Amino acid sequence: MPRVKRGVIHGKKRARILKLTKGYRWGRKNLIKQAITASHLAGAHALADRRKKKNVNRALWQVKINAALRINGLTYSKFIHTLKTKNIELDRKTLATIAKDYPEIFKKIIAATK
């Protein structure tokens, strides 16, 4: 079998990993074993935090809706319950945006639930 020289491929692989870890601290940016470990862990955290971001945003929407409702003399839980009983299908993201940017329209939504 002929001999295969892999210097180019090996160098490309290292360069790709080190490019991913550019800006990391200490040896994780320029030592290949530490860079590989750091990039794998970074990917795992990125995946988990994309999931967490959805929960954080939903909680933020709830806080915004509740703040707008308290000004109008309602609570969040009662408002959501009446929305469901009246079959008004607006999601929390939309309600939070309306409450923040268009308070007059939000008052009309509140009036529709009463």
- Position 35 confidence tier, pLDDT thresholds 50, 70, 90: very high
Structure tokens at 104: 């007059």
Per-residue confidence (pLDDT) for residue 75, from 0 to 100: 93
- In this prediction, residues 19-26 reach a mean pLDDT of 96
Per-residue confidence (pLDDT) for residue 64, from 0 to 100: 96
pLDDT, tens only, 72-111? 999 999 999 999 999 989 999 999 999 999 999 999 999 9
Asked whether residue 34 carries a pLDDT value surpassing 90, the answer given is yes
Asked whether residue 4 carries a pLDDT value surpassing 90, the answer given is no
Question: What's the pTM value of the predicted model, to 2 decimals?
Answer: 0.72
Which 3-state string (H, E, C) describes 76-88? HHHHHHHHHHCCC
8 A C-beta contact, residue 35 and residue 29 = yes
8 A C-beta contact, residue 75 and residue 69 = yes
CATH code matching the domain that covers 7-113, chosen among 1.10.1900.20, 2.40.50.100, 3.40.140.10, 3.40.50.970: 1.10.1900.20
Residue among 67, 50, 64, 56 nearest 92 (CA) = 64
Tell me which amino acid residue 72 is. N
- Cα–Cα dist 32/21, whole Å: 10
Share the mean pLDDT of the chain.
Answer: 94
Asked whether residue 67 carries a pLDDT value surpassing 90, the answer given is yes
CA separation, residue 26 to residues 19, 22, 31, 35, 72 (Å): 15, 11, 9, 10, 54
Per-residue confidence (pLDDT) for residue 53, from 0 to 100: 97
